């Protein structure tokens, strides 16, 4: 059964969407998994947090959420569809080698499960240590999901400036009110030729709470949608 997972990176809060997920028992040999060539793929460790990921730098783009301990990976154009070898190291000291095989598929969510039942650091331990909870992220996730699906939103008579990044233009379309937040919807087009990789941070501005893209790649004569939440 397919599922959708929404994840945030605080400050540049981006929405992560996974079409399917896989769970692997951590072991002393390489684990093979398929990932999307075009979209961000999530890697997490159940009951633990990812501290570092080692691999060939120009083979993949890496984003890490230090709060949740998850990592998000997408192959680079230089790497193409070649397999990517990684070593994942957790805060509790566990290590797992991965061989990720890019394919023209939707995003994957890879969850690693420690073979040491009952050991390792639970996320609640980190929450207690820092005094922070996940309620804020969960609330923002729910608001963004409502915005994207147009559920329980109301139109706002608001006009804001367009946003630009190089030859990419995010043209303002509509504004909405969602649970105390303002949702801004932009249409992204390009004046350049060829294919362009999109990243929420290209269009982020001071005051943005969360950003989401309908696609992580755009070609000439194509369009993508940018969703922005502000307070």
112-139 pLDDT, tens per residue?
A: 998 653 333 333 333 333 334 457 777 8
CA 202 distance to own-chain centroid: 14
Q: 34 and 84: one domain?
A: yes
Residue 15 inside a domain? The answer is: no
Q: How many residues does the chain have?
A: 231
Domain final residue, candidates 79, 101, 133 = 133
Q: DSSP for 95-164? A: EEEEEEEEESS--EEEEEE-SSTT-S--HHHHHHHHT--SHHHHHHHHHHHHHHHT-S-EEE------EE
Answer yes or no: do 25 and 126 share one domain: yes
127 and 24 together in one domain: yes
**126 and 91 housed in the same domain:** yes
Q: What is the pLDDT of residue 35?
A: 93
Which SS3 state, helix, strand or coil, does residue 57 take? helix
User: Which residues sit opposite 172 in a β-bridge?
Assistant: 186
Same domain, yes or no: 44 and 93: yes
* pLDDT tens-digit series, residues 193-217: 877 878 787 888 888 888 888 887 8
Q: Is the pLDDT of residue 174 over 90?
A: yes
Q: What percent of the chain has pLDDT over 90?
A: 31
> Is residue 124 located within the same domain as residue 220?
no
Q: What is the pLDDT of residue 136?
A: 72
Q: Is residue 1 part of a domain?
A: no
Are 111 and 205 within one domain? Answer: no
Asked if 198 contacts 216 with a C-beta cutoff of 8 angstroms, the reply is: yes
**pLDDT category, 169, cuts 50, 70, 90?**
very high
pLDDT score recorded for residue 124: 39
Q: Are residues 167 and 83 both part of a single domain?
A: no
Q: Are residues 90 and 184 in the same domain?
A: no
How many domains does the chain fold into?
Answer: 2
Tokens representing 42 are 């999530």
Lowest mean pLDDT among 5-9, 165-169, 221-225: 5-9
pLDDT at 211: 87
Cα dist. 157→51, 182, 187, 211 in Å?
A: 45, 11, 18, 21
Q: Of the residues 107, 133, 159, which one is the last residue of a structural domain? A: 133
Show the domain range for 168. Answer: 142-230
What is the SS3 assignment for 49?
Answer: coil
pLDDT for 82-120, tens place per residue?
A: 999 999 999 888 899 999 999 988 888 899 998 653 333
Asked if 27 and 122 sit in the same domain, the reply is: yes
For residues 3 and 185, the model is more confident at: 185
Q: Which of 133, 160, 186 is where one domain is finished?
A: 133
DSSP lists the bridge partners of residue 98 as 31, 86
Q: What is the pLDDT of residue 116?
A: 58
Q: 214 and 186, same structural domain?
A: yes
pTM, rounded to two decimals: 0.50
CA distance 29 to 167: 45
For the segment 22-79, what is each residue's pLDDT rounded down to a tens digit? 889 998 899 999 999 988 888 999 889 998 898 887 899 888 888 888 899 999 988 9
């Amino acid at each position: 059964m397919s599922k959708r997972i929404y994840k945030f990176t605080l400050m540049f809060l981006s929405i992560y969407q996974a079409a399917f997920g896989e769970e692997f028992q951590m072991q002393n040999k390489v684990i093979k998994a398929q990932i999307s060539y075009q979209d961000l793929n999530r890697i997490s460790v159940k009951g633990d947090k990812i501290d570092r990921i080692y691999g060939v730098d120009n083979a993949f783009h890496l984003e890490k959420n230090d709060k949740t301990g998850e990592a998000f990976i997408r192959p680079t154009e230089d790497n193409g569809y070649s397999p990517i070898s990684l070593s994942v190291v957790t805060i509790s000291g566990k290590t797992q080698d991965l061989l990720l095989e890019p394919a023209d598929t939707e995003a994957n969510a890879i969850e690693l499960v420690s073979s040491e039942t009952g050991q390792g650091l639970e996320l609640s331990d980190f929450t207690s240590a820092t005094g922070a909870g996940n309620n804020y992220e969960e609330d923002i996730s729910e608001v963004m999901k409502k915005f994207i699906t147009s559920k329980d939103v109301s139109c706002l008579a608001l006009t804001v400036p367009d946003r630009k990044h190089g030859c990419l233009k995010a043209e303002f379309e509509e504004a909405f009110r969602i649970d105390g937040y303002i949702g801004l919807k932009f249409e992204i087009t390009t004046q350049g030729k060829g294919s362009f990789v999109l990243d929420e941070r290209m269009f982020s501005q001071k005051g943005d709470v969360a950003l989401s893209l309908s696609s992580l790649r755009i070609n000439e004569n194509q369009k993508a949608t940018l969703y922005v939440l502000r307070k």
